[in-house]
Structures are given as C-alpha cells and as structure tokens.
Amino acid sequence: MAAQSILLFGYGSHGRFIAGGLHEDGFKIKIVESNSDYYEQAKEDGYIDVEYIDVTNDSILQALNPQNFEQLVCVMEDEHLNVFLTLSLRSLFKESYILSISDSIHTTKKLKMAGADKVIDLYEVSANKIYNILQRPVSTKILERIVIDRNGITFSETLVPKGSFLQDTMTDDLDLAPYGILLIGMIDEELGHTFMFITTGINHRIDEGDTLVCIGPKEKLDAFEEALKKERKE
C-alpha cells in the first residue's frame, strides 16, 4: 500500500512535532513554511520536500497542487495566519480534506467557520485528559506525584478574592497564557459549588468566591495566586 501523502503547512513548535510523528509512521510529507527560520529548521532536520512560500498568495497555493494530497494539515505558528490559510484552502480546494490544529477555544471556533473538516483542539485534548483523571481521586494523586517528580507540573485551586481584576470576566475571554498556566475548570458558587469543566462549551462569569482550577509549574501557579491577591479592578 502506498504511503498516505500529507501536505503540512507550518513547522513551528507544533508542526515540527507533528512532522516527526508522521515521518516515523511512514507518511509521505511535504512541508510548507512562510517563516524563514522554521523553513531552515525543517531543512536542517533532514526533510527534503520543503518549500518556503507566501501562504497568503492564492496562485502560489494552487501551484502546490494540494488536491493531489490526501490530507492538508494547517498548523502555522501564527494562529491568525492559520485561520486565513484554512479559509483560503477551503475556498480554492472544496474537495480537499483539511485538518487544522488549535490551541485555544476561540481559534477552534474560527477554524471551524473557516471550513476545516477537523479541528484538533490541543487545549481541549489536554484538558479532557486531565478531567478524566480528576474524576478519579486516587489516580489524581498518582498523577500529581509523577508529574511533579518529572517537571514540576501540578494542580491548584485558586479562590477569586473580592475586587479581583478577574471578577465579571467570562471564561471564554479569559487568557491565562501570559501567566504560563492552563485553566481546566472552575467551581462556580452561583451553581451550587459545582465543578465546571472549562471545555464543556458553557461560558461562565467569574465572580468573587469562585474557585479557578488550573494546572502548570508550581512557581507559575503561585505567582498567579499572588497576582490575584494584589491586582484589583479599577
């Protein structure tokens, strides 16, 4: 059986990892990049079929003959460029199967609207795995012991204090990336002290007394908790 052909757009942090996995599994890969540094990295890593192009140019995209590939995988490092590329490919190649990668709920929605056949939400995949473990307390303790020993990753439950800068913020609008941590859920006091998993698709308002359940390096979680205590809404 002939190897499945993949046209991979992007060789940034996610793209490089994906390319390696596809290569190991025997897929035929063509890599496309618009960033010169990522392009050079792909060449240095030994990939032969690599092109450096402007992915915003429709005529250049057409010259790649994407319709000849079984899957088009969009994983450009710039999320806005990734959405634009997905939209362009869907417009130009209506029959092609487009898979896009997302690392935020907002980007996932945009990619689906842009016409991606499948969106792999890295945020949701990670959070769902964590959630499944959280449902089993014994497993949670085992996980904590393993991940802390390996790379300092742990969980935290952070109470939202009175006057917090997060008060009245909707979870869909909350971005904790600058703090280097991931929100996986919250305990919403208005809903009866019930744990709400962040990827359920329900947009929650953060109020005083709610508890944010996050995962990340312990020092980052501690810094975030200190920021919540110090920073107040003006």
At 232, is the pLDDT very low, low, confident or very high (cuts 50, 70, 90)? Answer: low
Q: What is the pLDDT of residue 193?
A: 58
Domain count within the chain: 2
What whole-number distance in Å separates Cα of residue 39 and Cα of residue 51?
7
Whether residue 105 is found in the same domain as residue 78? yes
Domain of residue 64: give its range. 5-124
Report the greatest alpha carbon distance in the chain.
64
pLDDT at 156 > cutoff 90: no
At 1, is the pLDDT very low, low, confident or very high (cuts 50, 70, 90)? Answer: very low
pLDDT at 149 > cutoff 50: no
- Kind and range of the H or E run holding 33: strand 28-33
Which of 76, 99, 124 is the endpoint of a domain?
124
- Per the model's pLDDT, the better-predicted residue between 38 and 176 turns out to be 38
pLDDT at 71 > cutoff 90: yes
Q: Sort residue 146 into left (φ over 0), alpha (ψ -120 to 50) or beta.
A: alpha
Here the CATH number for the domain that contains residue 79 is: 3.40.50.720
Whether residue 154 is found in the same domain as residue 182? yes
Share of the chain above pLDDT 90, in %: 34
Whether residue 194 is found in the same domain as residue 155? yes
Whether residue 141 is found in the same domain as residue 114? no
pLDDT at 202 > cutoff 90: no
Which residues, in sequence order, are CB contacts of 51 under 8 Å at separation 6+? 30, 31, 32, 33, 64
For the segment 63-78, the average pLDDT, to the nearest whole number, is 94
pLDDT at 141 > cutoff 50: no
- The 10s digit of each residue's pLDDT in 78-136 is 888 999 999 999 999 999 999 998 877 778 888 988 999 988 887 666 555 555 544 54
Q: What is the pLDDT of residue 116?
A: 93
Which of 124, 153, 186 is the endpoint of a domain?
124
Residues 68, 72, 74: CA angle, nearest 5 degrees: 150
Here the CATH number for the domain that contains residue 201 is: 3.30.70.1450
Whether residue 105 is found in the same domain as residue 140? no
For the segment 16-37, the average pLDDT, to the nearest whole number, is 90
Contact 208, 160 (CB under 8 A): yes
